[in-house]
């Protein structure tokens, strides 16, 4: 079968909205064959490895997300295996085969290796038990592939393909879950989530990444056990939240977090936005408005696709800023006479709240800074009106945004969710005009590198002063003047420096 036809067949099989039980057998057989076709893409490495294990008397299975992704036609170069061999035997089999071997996960029975562009992780069968206080299991090695698959998070990740035989192992009906696009657990959800509460976040993440629907019993267990998320470290929560936001359907994942109560334990600012009426868009509460802004930001991200980058990388900073841009509204809500509602300075309060929450989730400093600055700046454009800004105001907008300007463009455009077509078109035209003015001024003045017309060394020489706070104050004053007036001639900049110095009571002699 040609490659294109295979891909169409796989997509047809796993994306049907409804599948009768009588059809599952035929679809399952075709899907299994399609999965094997996907596996052939990495067969040279995978089968070499499998033959080594078989010759040594051990069994090797491609397992978990690798099999799921093969069924979905999206297999990557990172493969997960499980085996009945114990870690010392696995190491021995890898050492003279792989280009690189690492054992950072060996206490959990996992070794990693790299060969010819493919990364593999091999874990000995597990039959762990959990104390259900922490997330740390008591590692127990098992002897059965079925028992190993039972301890996995979801049925779509509880399938295996034995290599080199290429036999499909699916004791918990994961293939049907893939075909039906359902997310369920091999054991009961309560058992699974009690063992590892992080799995509840993984459920929301898979909803975002794969577009699957969680089974009713999974959603119910998430509601019952949301408080168990307190057992999970902020770093792990941060990782899952980032993956969720970078999925293809981030709104669905966020809605699941909020609807099940999980958001209360990781991002409580989100549910706090519900029912807070937005003064510009009174047909939506702030929470629903923020979800729409998130979706529209993702659409703008994808609209930037090009021949060189047909599938742009998800922009975590933009998506996080879109989700959090209005979190300051509940704290700043005021009811005005006449029935209106205002949220004065919600961007200032929201920026502080975003910074505090992202710090608590242990995000890197650059992500915290970028997201909070976008939240702070997202409302600035609404003073632009019909183009009343001076060139000085445009320069300040660009300078304050700095490297975030392309993201700020997308965020401001995404923030327009009004159903009033005339108003939406007017906002769009205004922002088109602002971008055109930015481009014109940038051409004339190189806005990306706005600096004072005199540097620190020249300021010290002209004023006859040593390094210290006065130099910085003078530099900032000259930068403000530069933003207001645009570029100045050297003599004009020197005269401005002397004028400022005299106003500050600094004794200077104009000797230029």
Tell me: the pLDDT tens digits for 24-42? 445 566 666 666 655 656 6
pLDDT tens, position by position, 333-363 = 877 776 677 788 899 999 999 999 999 999 9
DSSP 152: S
Whether the CB-CB separation of 319 and 246 falls below 8 Å is answered with yes
CA atoms 337, 338, 343, 345: torsion sign: negative
In CATH terms, 3-180 corresponds, of 3.30.460.10, 3.10.20.30, 3.40.50.1980, 3.40.640.10, to 3.30.460.10
Helix (H) or strand (E) holding 169: strand 167-169
Classify 110 as helix, strand or coil. Answer: strand
Whether the CB-CB separation of 132 and 230 falls below 8 Å is answered with no
Q: At what angle do helices 421-445 and 391-401 cross, to 10 degrees?
A: 90
Q: Which residue has the higher pLDDT, 505 or 88?
A: 88
pLDDT at 420: 82
- When the pLDDT of each residue in the chain is averaged and rounded to a whole number, the result is 84
Contacts (Cβ under 8 Å, ≥6 apart) of 13: 27, 30, 31, 34, 179
pLDDT tens, position by position, 79-116 = 999 999 999 999 999 998 999 999 998 888 999 999 98
pLDDT tens, position by position, 206-262 = 999 999 999 999 999 999 999 999 999 999 999 999 999 999 999 999 999 999 999
pLDDT at 254: 98
User: Which of 53-67, 270-284, 421-435 has the largest mean confidence?
Assistant: 53-67
Whether the CB-CB separation of 70 and 33 falls below 8 Å is answered with no
Q: Give the span between the Cα atoms of 234 and 364, in whole angstroms.
A: 12
**Looking at the domain 185-266, which fold is it?**
Hydrophobic Seed Protein (1.10.110)
Domain positions in the chain: 3-180, 185-266, 283-449, 456-503
pLDDT at 26: 55
Q: Give the span between the Cα atoms of 380 and 204, in whole angstroms.
A: 33
Q: Give the span between the Cα atoms of 441 and 486, in whole angstroms.
A: 9
pLDDT tier at 331, thresholds 50, 70, 90: confident
Percent of the chain's residues with pLDDT above 70: 84
Q: Give the span between the Cα atoms of 410 and 423, in whole angstroms.
A: 18
**Is residue 130 scored above 80 in pLDDT?**
no
């Amino acid at each position: 079968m040609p490659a294109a036809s295979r891909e169409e067949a796989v997509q047809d099989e796993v994306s049907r909205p409804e599948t009768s039980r009588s059809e599952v057998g035929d679809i399952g057989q075709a899907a299994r064959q399609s999965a094997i076709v996907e596996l052939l893409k990495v067969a040279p490495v995978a089968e070499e490895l499998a033959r080594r294990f078989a010759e040594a008397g051990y069994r090797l299975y491609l397992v978990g997300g690798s099999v799921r992704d093969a069924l979905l036609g999206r297999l990557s170069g990172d493969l997960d295996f499980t085996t009945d061999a114990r870690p010392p035997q696995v190491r021995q089999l890898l050492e003279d085969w792989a280009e690189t071997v690492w054992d950072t996960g060996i206490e959990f029975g996992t070794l990693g290796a790299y060969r010819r562009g493919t990364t593999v992780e091999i874990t000995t069968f597990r039959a762990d038990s959990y104390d259900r206080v922490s997330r740390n299991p008591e590692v127990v090695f098992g002897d059965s592939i079925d028992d190993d698959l039972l301890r996995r998070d979801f049925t779509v990740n509880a399938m295996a393909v034995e290599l080199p035989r290429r036999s499909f192992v699916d004791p918990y009906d994961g293939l049907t879950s893939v075909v039906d696009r359902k997310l369920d657990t091999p054991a009961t959800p309560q058992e699974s989530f009690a063992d590892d509460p992080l799995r509840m976040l993984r459920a929301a993440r898979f909803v975002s990444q794969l577009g699957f629907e969680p089974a009713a019993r999974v959603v119910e267990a998430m509601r019952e056990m949301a408080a168990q998320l307190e057992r999970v470290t902020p770093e792990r929560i941060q990782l899952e939240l980032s993956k969720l936001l970078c999925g293809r359907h981030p709104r669905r994942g966020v809605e699941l977090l909020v609807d099940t109560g999980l958001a209360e334990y990781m991002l409580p600012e989100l549910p706090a936005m519900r029912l807070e009426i937005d003064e510009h868009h009174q047909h939506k509460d702030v929470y629903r408005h923020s979800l729409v802004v998130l979706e529209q930001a993702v659409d703008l991200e994808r609209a930037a696709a090009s021949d060189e980058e047909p599938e742009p990388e998800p922009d975590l900073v933009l998506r996080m800023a879109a989700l959090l841009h209005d979190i300051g509204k509940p704290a700043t809500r005021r009811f005005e006479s006449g029935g209106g509602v205002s949220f004065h300075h919600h961007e200032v309060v929201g920026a502080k709240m975003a910074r505090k929450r992202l710090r608590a989730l242990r995000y890197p400093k650059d992500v915290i800074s970028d997201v909070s600055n976008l939240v702070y700046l997202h409302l600035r454009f609404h003073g632009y009106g019909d183009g009343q800004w001076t060139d000085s105001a445009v320069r300040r907008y660009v300078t304050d945004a700095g490297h975030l300007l392309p993201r700020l463009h997308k965020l401001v455009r995404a923030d327009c969710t009004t159903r009033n077509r005339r108003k939406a078109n007017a906002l769009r035209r205004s922002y088109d005009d602002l971008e055109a003015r930015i481009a014109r001024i940038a051409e004339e003045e190189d806005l990306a590198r706005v600096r004072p017309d005199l540097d620190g060394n020249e300021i010290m020489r002209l004023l006859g002063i040593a390094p210290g706070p006065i130099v910085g104050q003078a530099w900032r004053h000259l930068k403000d003047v530069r933003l207001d007036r645009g570029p100045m001639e050297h003599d004009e900049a020197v005269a401005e420096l002397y004028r400022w110095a005299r106003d500050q009571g600094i004794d200077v002699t104009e000797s230029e």
